[in-house]
Every structure is written in structure tokens, then in C-alpha cells.
Amino acid sequence: MAIERQGPLAGVRVLDASRVLAGPFCGQILGDLGAEVLKVERPGSGDETRGWGPPFAGTLSAYFLSCNRNKRGLTLDLAHPEGQRLFDELARRSDVLLENFRADSAERLGLSPPQLLSKHPHLIICSISGFGRTSSLRDAPGYDFAIQALSGLMSITGPVEGPPCKVGVAVTDVLTGLYAAVAVLACLHARHQSGHGYAIDLALLDCAVAAQVNVAQAYLTSGALPPRQGNAHLQIVPYQLFATADSWLVLAVGNDGQWQRFCHAAQRLDLAADERFRTNPLRVRHRSVLVPLLETLLRSRTTAAWEELLRHAEVPHAPVWTYAELFAQPEMAQRLRVTVHDPAGQPVDLIASPFHISGTTTSATAPPALGQHTDQVLTQLLGLDEEQVRKLRQQGVV
């Protein structure tokens, strides 16, 4: 008899009371790994990203689709005493709570981490905010665009002579969601030894700064503000975008051996022999001389011709693809796309989970319609009967 394999987080229940992107993205990661994720939303309106479109697939926005797969959805009014009681019962039966409540609202409703841990000492609570629960700005809204501006990320992004630029996706939310998932997994592991729960305080600003790794560290080390590099690299040359005869190519020479191979493939032995360019520190120092030479050189061939040369020379490089070109690659599309059925039964393509773990099974379910599983959760998990659920609906609790 074959043994049914489950995801590595099978048996873990996550109560996802977060909204928008960072928290829901964390919940999606945990769901991808096999956890049971219950998404709690406000009756009538739900997570505001449900309306962030077009485009829509049926009633679900592409934005909502991107961060809420592998969850069951229920509605619950946490401002109602009975809603608070039901939420408390769900927390008692859960391992993890994800939330991004305003700190003052959470305390008023009895949902702050200290209040919850006093009642549920086993619970792992991950609180996500813009600036952290200990900051004087703890109740200030934390929008990704603002965090990109405040964190220094925009100051190092964009053309050298142009204005600061944001990254093309809400990257500080995504990074915070990833950090949140790592912290939750670490606390789940620690709980096996300690037997008690944990309160995780994650700030978008903290995560955005931490994720700037070598560039932010270079400032702390030197005290010098890093200049914007556009599509180049502050500490490696040549490691940037170049125009070719017909499009664009990223040339990513990461060491001196690759530099020599590039020069030979390009039939520019003069560059290989030039003492000014022999090592990466020298190439960085003489960037203003070398890069114009390379710009002229790269324009001499098409992107396809350069790809052929550099592939044989084992020099890292990449063309710049659109989404259409990316998903047209059969092997990549097989790993990057998954088809599910929405609440109306219609097929919908989603971005696939990046987890490929041998020894487990992974699957994907569509994000839920607003309150899709409310009755199921209340009756099966909390033991309510149909009449009790009907009264809750009449009272506007669910």
C-alpha cells in the first residue's frame, strides 16, 4: 500500500488575519509547504486587494490571486464581542497567528501579542507593521512605496542622472513576507524544545534595510553614500546591462577568469592584456574608461550572437525577457505556472510555488471567495451547528 506523502508543514494550523501583501504572502508560503491556512477577513468587504484591479479572473483580482492560494477563507467581525470570542477559539486551536493590526486597535480588542500569549501560551504570533511594535511610529501606515523611499532603496535605484526609482514590484512587502515565514518556521522548531509560544515583531523598514546587504553595509563600513549605478554594479565591473545591435543583454562578469574568457570570446585580446583591467578592483577603478569601450563592443553583434559566443565561453549573461517571452519557454513555464479552478469552477493560471521538495507532495488550490469556507470552519473546527451559524449571520458577526 502506497504511503500518502504530505507537505512538510502538514498538521500545522495558521490563522492568517493579515491583509494586503506581506502577511498574506507569508501565509501563502506556509500553505505551499503544507500548513492549513485559515484566512480571516472582514464581513462584506474582506481584504482590500480583492478590489485591486483590473485584471480580474472572475471575481478575484490578479493581486489577490498572487498571494492567497492554498488557504480556506472565512469572515469574522473582530469588533463584535462574539467575533472576538470566535477568533479566540480559532487561536486556541491554531499554531501560528499572522496579523498586521494597528497596535492601538489590537490592544483595545484584546488582540495584542501579550494579551493573546497570556491566554494561548503555545501560540506563535507574527506581527507585521511598517516600523515595528517598539517604534514611536508603531501605528503609522507602512506602505511599500513609502518604505522603499525611507529605507534608502530608492536612493540607490534608478538611472545615474535621473530621479530615484522604486523597484517594479512591492519588494519590501515580499521581503517581509519571506522574513516572516523564516521566523515562523524557526519558532515552530524552537517550540518543540521550549514548549512555549513566541511573539515575532517584524517591520517592513527593518526588512528592507537588511535586504540591501552589501550596499547598505558599504555605507556603514566607509561612511560614503553609494552613488546610483543604474543597471550597473557598485562593486563589480563589467556587471551591467548593455545595448546590443538589436536589443539588450546583461553581462555579469563575476571574476577575473570570466573576464579573460569574455575578452577572448569577443576577440579583444588587447582588453585582456590591459593592466588597467586585469583584476576586478582595477576594473572598478577604471570603470569610466572600460565601460564606454564595452558599450561600443556590445553594439557590434546581436543579442543572439552574443548569447552563442558567451555560452560557449562560459561567461554569465542573460537577455532581457518580457513576461510573454518568459512564459513562452516550455521548460520554465512548466515550473512557473499552475492551473487551478476558482470558486466558480473556472480554470485560472497562477504563479506556481517555487518549492520543489523530494519526499513530499505539493498541490495548489485557488484563493477563496470572500467567506467561502465560513460555515465549514465554524461547524467542523469549532463545533457550531447550522442554527448557531445562521444567528451569527443575522448578527453580522460572520
pTM listed for this prediction: 0.92
Q: Per this entry, what is the length of the chain?
A: 398
The CA distance from 299 to 243, in Å, is 6
Q: 24-51: per-residue pLDDT in tens?
A: 999 999 999 999 999 999 999 999 999 9
Question: DSSP code of 267?
Answer: T
pLDDT at residue 137 in the model: 82
Q: Which of 16, 77, 144, 173 is catalytic?
A: 173
- How many angstroms separate the most distant Cα atoms in the chain? 85
Cell output for 325: 517571452
The CA distance from 37 to 30, in Å, is 8
Q: 332-365: per-residue pLDDT in tens?
A: 878 899 999 999 899 999 999 999 898 887 789 9
Q: 265-313: per-residue pLDDT in tens?
A: 999 999 999 999 999 999 999 999 999 999 999 999 999 999 999 999 9
What dihedral angle (degrees, nearest 10) is formed by the CA atoms of 176, 182, 185, 191? -90
Cα–Cα distance list, 44 to 72, 90, 368, 377 (Å): 17, 20, 14, 18
What number is the average pLDDT over the span 92-117?
A: 93
The CA distance from 246 to 303, in Å, is 7
173 is catalytic: yes
From its phi and psi, is residue 339 left (phi > 0), alpha (psi between -120 and 50) or beta?
Answer: beta
Asked if 136 contacts 55 with a C-beta cutoff of 8 angstroms, the reply is: no
Q: In whole numbers, what is the pLDDT of the chain averaged over residues?
A: 94
pLDDT at residue 5 in the model: 63
pLDDT at residue 136 in the model: 83
Peptide bond into 54 cis (omega under 30): yes
pLDDT for 2 beyond 60: no
Domains of the chain: 13-211+331-395 (3.40.50.10540), 239-243+248-319 (3.30.1540.10)
